[in-house]
């Protein structure tokens, strides 16, 4: 699901929290080794909304991922507005190659460019670890 979080951000973050759960606190992040992702460059977003024009946008758009207890949230800024794409862990599929990372969160398909392959591998291993263990705290 995609939300424009720059307007009425408090209620939008509660909606994200309902679907994806709370963020890991600092102690949990260190004990599980779960941290956010590095910065990815968005190449294209395939969705039903008007954000599909992102591939024709002249400026570079970056995104970050946050692994939560029950889901994954991708935050990015586009045309001075902040957006969040989020979904539960069982609704996420991804494919990664040398410098390309494609991820599908619910009905949104995002094509990203990997900027740091070492940190990308760490993020993917953390994501698969959380998905397989289904951590319940």
Q: Which of 24-28, 63-67, 131-135 has the highest mean pLDDT?
A: 63-67
Write the burial class of residue 130 (CB in 10 Å: 0-12 exposed, 13-18 middle, 19+ buried): buried
| Cross-strand bridge partners of residue 91 | none
Residue linked to tokens 């994501």: 127
Count of beta carbons in the 10 Å neighbourhood of residue 121 = 12
The residue-averaged pLDDT of 71-86 equals: 88
Question: Which contacts of 99-106 are long-range, i.e. CB under 8 A and separated by 24 or more positions?
Answer: 100/43, 101/40, 103/74, 105/1, 105/72, 105/74, 106/1
What CA–CA distance (Å, rounded) separates 112 from 8? Answer: 27
**Ramachandran area for residue 38 (φ above 0: left; ψ -120 to 50: alpha; else beta):** beta
Please write the tens of the pLDDT for every residue from 117-136.
888 998 898 888 888 876 55
| H or E, element range at 13 | helix 9-20
**Residue 81: beta bridge partners?**
78
CATH number for the region 2-132 comes to 2.30.29.30
> Band of the pLDDT at 59, cuts 50, 70, 90?
confident
Q: Is 23 helix (H, G, I), strand (E, B) or coil?
A: strand
Query: Measured between alpha carbons, how far is residue 35 from residues 26, 32, 46, 68, 108 in Å?
Result: 9, 9, 26, 9, 23
* Domain spans of the chain, in order of start: 2-132
């Amino acid at each position: 699901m995609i939300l424009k979080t720059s307007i009425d951000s408090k209620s939008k973050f509660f909606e994200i929290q309902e679907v994806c759960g709370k963020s890991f606190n600092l102690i949990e992040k260190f004990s599980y080794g779960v941290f956010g992702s590095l910065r990815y460059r968005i190449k294209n977003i395939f969705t039903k909304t008007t954000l599909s024009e992102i591939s024709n946008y002249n400026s570079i758009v970056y995104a970050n991922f946050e692994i939560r207890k029950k889901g994954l949230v991708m935050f990015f800024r586009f045309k001075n507005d902040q957006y969040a794409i989020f979904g539960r862990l069982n609704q996420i599929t991804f494919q990664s190659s040398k410098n390309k990372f494609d991820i599908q969160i619910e009905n949104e398909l995002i094509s990203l460019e990997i900027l740091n392959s070492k940190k990308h591998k760490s993020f993917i291993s953390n994501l698969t670890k959380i998905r397989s263990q289904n951590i319940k705290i």
